[in-house]
Amino acid sequence: MNPADPDGVRLAARATVDLPALAACARTCTACPELAATRTQVVPGVVPAGSRLLLLGEAPGASEDVAGLPFVGRSGQLLDLLLAEVGVARAHVAVLNTVQCRPPGNRPPARAESATCRPWAERQLELAAPSVVVSLGLSATRWFLGPTSLSAVRGRLHDAGGYRVLPTFHPSAALRFGPGGEPRRLLREDLALAVVEGGR
Ligand code: URA
């Protein structure tokens, strides 16, 4: 199976039987020419055994591109802290992005890149089978819910494609507004709600 174009990604993702096989196959993906040419490596999701809470971000940044792991930069460090504050170790939480490669210069993923990459995230979700998904920021929220605004849907559980999805702020917004800002307070509150709703 050769994930070199959108059809190849769809077929390859569908054919993978477990998360290690998916990660190995996704690492060979060249379906988005610019991303394949500029990335250091593909960044598949991390799904600890038995995890019930899954956090969905947008796309890897510079630190993730180097490490090959999602949310290890400043945003990831804030998530680690807030998760610990609400009583969950990051080591027990699944973390995944809608797009598995870093867009150059941290630009938003192009619509075609999101669509092409979608089967990788869909299959990882299917295999992870989380109790609750927290969508971090507008892009991950729209990936599930379609066109909407964060203010319209944040802080409540939504049924989407068989998943219970809780939209909230992206940690980068919490970092931008600082430790006393509203996004950080609400992000923490929403993570706590996700835990209460069974995501631990
Ligand atoms: N931002 C994201 O959306 N995902 C990451 O993995 C890192 C930063």
CA angle 89, 129, 122 (to 5 degrees): 110
Count the helices and strands in the chain (H runs, E runs).
Answer: 10, 5
CA–CA gap between residue 158 and residue 175 (Å, rounded): 26
* SS3 call for 98: coil
Instruction: Please check whether residue 100 lies inside any domain of the structure.
Output: yes
Instruction: Please check whether residue 10 lies inside any domain of the structure.
Output: yes
Contact 54, 132 (CB under 8 A): yes
CA–CA gap between residue 146 and residue 183 (Å, rounded): 22
What CATH number should be reported for the domain holding residue 52? 3.40.470.10
Decide whether any atom of ligand 1 lies within 6 Å of the 75 Cβ. Answer: yes
Decide whether any atom of ligand 1 lies within 6 Å of the 100 Cβ. Answer: no
The total number of structural domains that make up the chain: 1
Write the DSSP assignment of 122-148 as a string of letters: HHHHHHH--SEEEEEHHHHHHHHH-S-
- Model pLDDT for residues 46-82, shown as the tens digit of each residue: 999 999 999 999 999 999 999 999 999 999 999 999 9
Ligand 1 atom nearest residue 64's Cα: 6
pLDDT at 200: 66
Ligand 1 atom nearest residue 43's Cα: 6
Give residue 1's pLDDT band: very low, low, confident or very high (50, 70, 90): low
- Model pLDDT for residues 120-158, shown as the tens digit of each residue: 999 999 999 999 999 999 999 999 999 999 999 999 999
Decide whether any atom of ligand 1 lies within 6 Å of the 45 Cβ. Answer: no
Beta carbons within 8 Å of 116's beta carbon, 6+ residues apart: 5, 6, 9, 31, 32
Residue with tokens 């990604």: 9
Length of the chain: 200
Beta carbons within 8 Å of 36's beta carbon, 6+ residues apart: 29, 30, 101
Give residue 2's pLDDT band: very low, low, confident or very high (50, 70, 90): confident
pLDDT at 70: 98
Instruction: Please check whether residue 145 lies inside any domain of the structure.
Output: yes
CA–CA gap between residue 64 and residue 67 (Å, rounded): 5
Instruction: Please check whether residue 32 lies inside any domain of the structure.
Output: yes
> Which residue range forms the structural domain that includes residue 162?
6-196
Mutate to test the pocket of ligand 1, among 56, 64, 176 (most ligand atoms within 8 A of CB): 64
Q: What is the CA(127)–ligand 1 centre distance, in A?
A: 21
pLDDT at 155: 98
CA–CA gap between residue 50 and residue 135 (Å, rounded): 20
pLDDT at 198: 85
Decide whether any atom of ligand 1 lies within 6 Å of the 64 Cβ. Answer: yes
Rounded to two decimals, the pTM is 0.97
CA–CA gap between residue 172 and residue 121 (Å, rounded): 21
Instruction: Please check whether residue 1 lies inside any domain of the structure.
Output: no
Decide whether any atom of ligand 1 lies within 6 Å of the 139 Cβ. Answer: no
Rg (CA), the chain: 16
Q: What is the CA(3)–ligand 1 centre distance, in A?
A: 23
Give residue 159's pLDDT band: very low, low, confident or very high (50, 70, 90): very high
- Arithmetic mean of pLDDT over the chain: 97
Give residue 199's pLDDT band: very low, low, confident or very high (50, 70, 90): low
| Burial zone of 4 (CB within 10 Å; 0-12 exposed, 13-18 middle, 19+ buried) | middle
